[in-house]
Amino acid sequence: MKENFVVNAEPRNDQGKGASRRLRREGKVPAIIYGGADAPISVTVSGNEMFKHLKVEAFYSHLLTVKIGADSHQVVLKDLQRHPVSGYAIHADFQRVLADKPLRMHVPLHFKGADIAPGVKTGGGIVEHQLNQVEVECLPALLPEFFEVDLSNLNVNESIHLSQLTLPEGVSLVQLKHGNDQSIVAIHLPRSAFEEEAPAAPAAEAAAADAGKKDEKKK
């Protein structure tokens, strides 16, 4: 069952870097709500509330409700700026969504079955992730929280591509629209396996050369 995220916000009138710094010192996160037919709205959100929401993966790819007093806005989190050291949110962009207008969002990938994949369990391979999320296009009501990628049948030197994902009806991948059927995950032998095999060839060549010299001496 999908979670229902509600973000409580307050309108703000002060603009500029100085005003934003003051708000952050007060434990608030400056934000903006934009998109749709209405004008953008500058707001602030509790830093503690945002911190709790941002710990939940679904918050990043989910329809959110931003409440400003008695008004509610259906939005998605379109952009987030974090402090480079602390990692705390310092600004958020919320985009309004319209029920009949498709939107584009990044949706996370959840991987399962790696521990029982033949390429890992018996083939000695390691899992290599090329993507951790994909960009989808769909109506807001159809927005998935994540896609599940099953590795349980994957062998060494095999991979799973975007076109192999199971998509809900009405949901498409932006990458595939542009002809980019990128690999999502693959199983390869670790580099050390090739490095161990590499010296074997020179050793074999040296042995063959020694044998040739012995043959020449006999003649």
pLDDT of residue 13: 80
As for how many domains the chain has, the answer is 2
CA torsion, ordered 34, 30, 65, 138, to nearest 10 deg: 50
Q: Are residues 115 and 160 in the same domain?
A: yes
- Residue 79, domain CATH: 2.40.240.10
Q: Are residues 80 and 111 in the same domain?
A: no
Q: Are residues 74 and 142 in the same domain?
A: no
Which pLDDT band holds residue 196 (cuts at 50, 70, 90)? low
Q: Is residue 202 part of a domain?
A: no
Q: Are residues 92 and 148 in the same domain?
A: no
- Domain termination site, one of 97, 129, 148: 97
* Helical residues (DSSP H) of 45-111, grouped into ranges: 47-54
- Domain termination site, one of 51, 78, 97: 97
| Per-residue pLDDT tens digits for 100-126 | 999 999 999 999 999 999 999 999 999
CA torsion, ordered 47, 48, 49, 54, to nearest 10 deg: 80
Host domain of residue 39: 5-97
- Domain termination site, one of 97, 129, 151: 97
| Per-residue pLDDT tens digits for 49-101 | 999 999 999 999 999 999 999 999 999 999 999 989 888 899 999 999 999 99
Angle CA 44–47–49, to nearest 5: 100
Per-chain mean pLDDT for the chain: 88
Q: Are residues 12 and 87 in the same domain?
A: yes
What is the value of pTM for the model shown?
Answer: 0.79
- Residue 138, domain CATH: 2.170.120.20
Q: Is residue 201 part of a domain?
A: no
Distance CA 194, CA 55 (A): 40
Q: Are residues 154 and 114 in the same domain?
A: yes
pLDDT of residue 1: 46
| Per-residue pLDDT tens digits for 162-192 | 999 999 999 999 999 999 999 999 999 997 7
